[in-house]
Amino acid sequence: MAEPAIQVTDLVKVYREKSSHPVRALDGLTLTVREGEIFGLLGRNGAGKTTLLRILTTLIEPTSGRVTILHRDAVKNPLEVRKNICVVLQENAVELYLSVRDNFFTFARFHSIPAGEVRSRTNRVIEQFGLGDYADQKVIDLSSGLKRRVQVAKVFMVDKPIIFLDEATTGMDPVNKRATIDAIREQARRGRTIFLTTHILQEAEELCDTIAIIDHGKRLACGSLQQIKSLARHALDITLTFDTLTDATLSELRALPSTKFEHTDNTVDMCVAGGEVAVLELVARLARQQRVLHVEMSSATLEDAFFELLRKSAHRPPGTTEDGGLSP
């Protein structure tokens, strides 16, 4: 098994504002990120993702607990940690009045890349991120999605072993997003450790080797995609399309124990708990009562597991977690 690249142990962060009550953003969080993996951190707004990222990148210090990056203490040795990481935060970090190419040149010189390598590395990331048509344009003239792509591409100019990406594909169109995802995969294949946060669950499902879900500063689950999805193993995604959907049938469907329920015209999309046999019996009964034009069922997705964990978190006694042994 690969060595830990990032180790978070019993991490607590309390914000103490003079005008309000203390806010406990992280509450005893423990995580391990292995070298060379793509690690995804998921959680709703306010779950503690940004606070954790800022601690990991030495921008703020924790209230208690310990963080090590490549066996270096992030609080005691922040400069040593910074020498080994690259970071893309949500804030814009590009020089708007420089061209795309000059942004890369400037970033390379800032990181002391040898002069003979600057141009070749710049050409490499321009090609990798599909920025050839924009290389000589000022960044201020680009769309928000392209600005974001330039910002992400910059970190691939330097050979730091760990990359932190905070909502890397925000604002990108599908083409930009695909180029960025492919670049992240390529960097992981080269042995770099990628730590990313995202609100796009499909992106995490596609990219990540390990996924952690946190809420209110606590870990709800941490493991492989299949391990996370297994936490919602009794859930099924169901799509039902009726010839005519009556109010009575709609009310009956809404009464089922579901974590997702969407209704459009005569079609209902839902995620329900219960074994497959019970669901088939329900569909058969509805088909006898009125015409069902289309039925589609599939096993639980990461989204299903995510919402199931959040639902359970809201009813869980303090001090407990969901994942049990699901921790790398």
Q: What is the pLDDT of residues 38-48, one digit of tens each?
A: 999 999 888 99
Residue 265: how many other CB atoms lie within 10 Å: 8
Q: Mean pLDDT over residues 309-327, rounded?
A: 57
pTM for the whole structure: 0.77
CATH number of 234-299: 3.30.70.100
319 — pLDDT class (breaks 50, 70, 90): very low
- Rounded to an integer, what distance in angstroms lies between the CA atom of residue 115 and that of residue 264? 59
Helix residue ranges, H only, 129-236: 144-155, 174-189, 201-207, 225-230
320 — pLDDT class (breaks 50, 70, 90): very low
Q: For residue 262, is pLDDT > 50?
A: yes
Q: Check residue 234 and give its pLDDT.
A: 64
Q: Check residue 324 and give its pLDDT.
A: 43
Q: Check residue 181 and give its pLDDT.
A: 87
Structure tokens at 290: 């009125």
Q: Check residue 321 and give its pLDDT.
A: 47
Q: Check residue 36 and give its pLDDT.
A: 92
- Cβ atoms of residues 221 and 214 within 8 Å: no
Q: Check residue 123 and give its pLDDT.
A: 93
Please list the residues that pair with 82 across neighbouring strands. Answer: none
pLDDT for 115-139, tens place per residue?
Answer: 889 999 999 999 888 899 999 999 9
Q: Who's near 231: CB < 8 A, 6+ residues apart?
A: 221, 305, 308, 309, 322, 323, 326
Domain with CATH 3.40.50.300 in the chain: 4-84+160-229
Q: What share of the chain is helix, strand, coil (3-state, %, to 5)?
A: 35, 30, 35
Superfamily of structural domain 4-84+160-229:
P-loop containing nucleotide triphosphate hydrolases (3.40.50.300)
Instruction: Look at residues 231, 239, 278, 283 and name the one whose alpha carbon lies nearest to residue 261.
Output: 239
Q: Check residue 121 and give its pLDDT.
A: 92
Q: For residue 162, is pLDDT > 90?
A: yes
Q: Check residue 233 and give its pLDDT.
A: 62
Please list the residues that pair with 265 across neighbouring strands. Answer: none
Which residue carries 């990461």 as its tokens? 302
Domain with CATH 3.30.70.100 in the chain: 234-299
Q: Check residue 12 and give its pLDDT.
A: 96
